[in-house]
Every structure is written in structure tokens, then in C-alpha cells.
Amino acid sequence: MSRISAEEVKHVANLARLAVTEEEVQKFTQQLDKIISFAEQLNELDTENVEPTSHVLDMKNVMREDVPVKGLPREEVLKNAPEHENGQIKVPSIIE
């Protein structure tokens, strides 16, 4: 049985904000199924009492003084923006 359906692939693509073609949905369904079934070998291990590792170094929150510094100059910020107008980044309308 497949571990991930075409419908789920479409749902995940939407969460990831990726437009996908029907062809890609088919391909991803097949490939992700293979990778996920490979990943399920982890279930051979009993990890009931194992703490998860999100970070290898023994670090807690790293604090620093809150020192105000100047923000980036506007022209620098806009330098790489695909579209801008009147010193602001422009996007298509959000509200209909």
C-alpha cells in the first residue's frame, strides 16, 4: 500500500507553497513513497525513553545586551527587490 496518496502530495505542495503539475504529483507520490518507506526502518528502534536531539552542542538560550543599532539603508533593502515603488516593496493585491 502506498504510504502517501496523490491527494496528500497536493496538500503538502500547498503547505509548501509550490505549484505542481499533475505529472509532478504522480512523480512525487512515487518518489516520496519510496523515501518514506525507507525512512520507516527507524521504527525498528525502540526510542521510548530516548530524548530527541535538535542541536548537538550543549547550549541554552544565548543572550546579549539589547543595543539599538541603525537599520539597513532603504536603497540597500530595495536593491534586490523584484518590484518596488515609492520606496516600498510591491506585490499583487492581497484583498479582492
| Positions that interact with another protein (CB under 8 A) | 4, 8-9, 12-13, 15-20, 24, 28, 31-32, 34-36, 38-45, 47, 50-57, 59, 62, 64, 72, 76-77, 79-83, 89, 91-94
Q: Are 45 and 52 in contact (CB under 8 A)?
A: no
CA 25 to chain centre: 18
CB of 22 to another protein, least distance (A): 13
Alpha-carbon Rg for the chain in angstroms: 23
Of 34, 24, 26, the residue nearest 3 (C-alpha): 34
CB of 2 to another protein, least distance (A): 13
Q: Are 78 and 84 in contact (CB under 8 A)?
A: yes
CB of 10 to another protein, least distance (A): 11
